Structure 1
């Protein structure tokens, strides 16, 4: 059954705009804006679901996965059997269908999940997603916000540290076209092959870093009077990243809670020197040029960073030093983690 709402013009027609990221392009801020302004968007005929994974529509990316390719989202739901996976698929279909039917004034459905970039790695996964979405809508546009790969890698380094991973020079050795996460030519090609090249729109981050500012006129959204999206910056101070390296290498399982990390000042971010930045980005030049050549909305140079922002000397070396007091640091963190756990239990008991 085709689950569409009745558009504001009175016709049974609805378009889907599927925003797939990429990661590290301000997706969290954009999604938070849309989620918190759902009613205002719906008044303008734009439906942003709230039953598909909270602010971001992570259930949409999870729908494309299977038990063999599951991610932490599926694991956190406790899904372990094929029957449970099938029940999850059915639940996502029901959630979207019911919300669409309850929003007859909508002319456009907006779905946004950067995990569609980071978690979907095969044509089969994208095909599964299309098989779910395409019959539901009259038109599908897939929008991807593309940032120079070296900039994505630097931002991803903070995320790696936040989840308890080490970041050293070797982290950047893995930033290669062999990883589809960074290979935009292969990534876009996969989505073009499934949804059709004319259904894909690439937005260069270098030209338009503010995705909402680009999208609003594109979909006919008037943002006047709506609160501006709060900027969400998950970058860590490089010295905090070095501290996390020390914790990991202490051999203990101690981690610093995200909420604590968010309170720590960011005075000195990770910065690559220009020579290293150019070396990393050069790995992607041939594929980027091939992508730009076939995408009319992209122009030469738009997937290259602004090299004037890269200093002659970076600070990556701060992450390559061993910490002589890693064990003592881990013991200190263990102590305060225990204190936090006790406070949580005390709050639960009240």
Structure 2
């Protein structure tokens, strides 16, 4: 039985992939320090993103969730068997983790998909089989920054008929992201009800809010691991520049008639090439649009500030670095096409 589970839940687009790359690369070294990273809960490829936690916790009727489908769960019988196997495998791993006082886990979809009290109760029950206590670690990002990063990710996975600023009521162009994705106060309140506010460690994903400006080192410090024991701190899942985004968005539209697997294969190859030459922060909101978007969540942010950051005047710092462009024309298309052809031929 571990003294405590240390559970990192995102939010999405706050460096979670970098955390998981670090866990994957350092699983043995962390275990030597007394921090056990379970393999039975990760993806089949061994990457330390504990997706089985989400598949286990979701309500019984959510059988169409892609993480459940990924783990072969499509009906009630398979779900029951999956939960039984997950519990047994975790117990077996925990029993063999002698000398470890802590279990370290990470999955960003816990904050965005596990949205009901009963689902959190499922998660809590699973962790209680091997841990005495649970501490939740969560990172929050200014909603305007989160939106820009999420837009980049949406294009990288195939969306094309979408707007940077979503109309949450319009499923055709705004349905690529849900409003609750940005509602930090409601999400954290639900987690606090289940695990206790004293066990929810909230950090701000801002340059001045992270140790050394790095989420991996910040998380290590928060769990009482000295970051200086390690030398490499990865930065994964970086974005494309605005012109490359625009190009890929148009390509996604052209690939829409293909079978999903064929389109994904082509898109992934193109992204690999673009990421070699066209990394960047992507499209930017204007200052006024950014302020208007964040203002929609003023009450949510204020509830977080009052509970976890009472000494701050506002939850997030005032933004003064928003670009003055919304959708720059893709005047770089010819150079991007040349780059792709040179790489492919």
Q: TM-score, normalised by structure 2?
A: 0.82
Shift of residue 302 of structure 1? 3.7
Alpha carbons 1:61, 1:116 under 8 Å: kept: yes
* SS of residue paired to 2:181: coil
* SS of residue paired to 2:134: strand
Shift of residue 95 of structure 1? 2.2
- Cα deviations across residues 139-165 of structure 1 (Å, max 9, x unaligned)? 111111111111111101111111111
Call closer, same or farther: CA 1:101–1:74 in 2, change over 3 Å: same
Query: What corresponds to 2:272 in structure 1?
Result: 262
Alpha carbons 2:239, 2:279 under 8 Å: kept: no
* SS of residue paired to 2:135: strand
Alpha carbons 1:27, 1:114 under 8 Å: kept: yes
Shift of residue 90 of structure 1? 1.4
Shift of residue 22 of structure 1? 0.6
Query: What corresponds to 2:307 in structure 1?
Result: 294
Query: What corresponds to 2:16 in structure 1?
Result: 27
Call closer, same or farther: CA 1:300–1:92 in 2, change over 3 Å: farther
Call closer, same or farther: CA 1:223–1:245 in 2, change over 3 Å: closer
- Cα deviations across residues 291-336 of structure 1 (Å, max 9, x unaligned)? 21122477333434x522112x2142548x9x9xxxxx9xxx9xxx
Residues 222-237 of structure 1 aligned to structure 2 (within 5 Å)? 222-237=226-241
Which of these residues, 234, 239, 245, is aligned with residue 243 of structure 2?
Answer: 239
Query: What corresponds to 1:88 in structure 2?
Result: 82
Shift of residue 120 of structure 1? 1.2
- Cα deviations across residues 103-160 of structure 1 (Å, max 9, x unaligned)? 1110111111001012112222111111221343111111111111111111011111
Q: Are residue 64 (structure 1) and residue 57 (structure 2) matched?
A: yes
Alpha carbons 2:17, 2:237 under 8 Å: kept: no
> In 2, distance between residues paired with 1:280 and 1:145?
19
Q: Are residue 252 (structure 1) and residue 241 (structure 2) matched?
A: no
> In 2, distance between residues paired with 1:276 and 1:98?
52
Query: What corresponds to 1:10 in structure 2?
Result: none
- Cα deviations across residues 170-192 of structure 1 (Å, max 9, x unaligned)? 64333899722110000001101
> In 2, distance between residues paired with 1:89 and 1:298?
42
Shift of residue 234 of structure 1? 3.1
Call closer, same or farther: CA 1:106–1:267 in 2, change over 3 Å: closer
Query: What corresponds to 1:100 in structure 2?
Result: 94
Alpha carbons 1:158, 1:234 under 8 Å: kept: no
Call closer, same or farther: CA 1:66–1:259 in 2, change over 3 Å: farther
Q: Are residue 218 (structure 1) and residue 231 (structure 2) matched?
A: no
Alpha carbons 2:144, 2:294 under 8 Å: kept: yes
Residues 169-180 of structure 1 aligned to structure 2 (within 5 Å)? 169=163, 171-174=165-168, 179-180=179-180
Equivalenced residue count is: 315
Call closer, same or farther: CA 1:273–1:296 in 2, change over 3 Å: closer
Query: What corresponds to 2:35 in structure 1?
Result: 46
Shift of residue 274 of structure 1? 1.0
> In 2, distance between residues paired with 1:302 and 1:62?
32
Question: Between Structure 1 and Structure 2, whose CA radius of gyration is higher?
Answer: 1
- Cα deviations across residues 181-217 of structure 1 (Å, max 9, x unaligned)? 1100000011011111111111111211522222223
Query: What corresponds to 1:16 in structure 2?
Result: 5
Shift of residue 78 of structure 1? 3.0
> In 1, distance between residues paired with 2:226 and 2:257?
51
* SS of residue paired to 2:155: helix
Call closer, same or farther: CA 1:212–1:298 in 2, change over 3 Å: farther
* SS of residue paired to 2:166: helix
Query: Where in structure 2 are there 5+ consecutive unaligned residues?
Result: 169-173
Query: Where in structure 1 are there 5+ consecutive unaligned residues?
Result: 6-13, 324-328, 334-338, 341-350
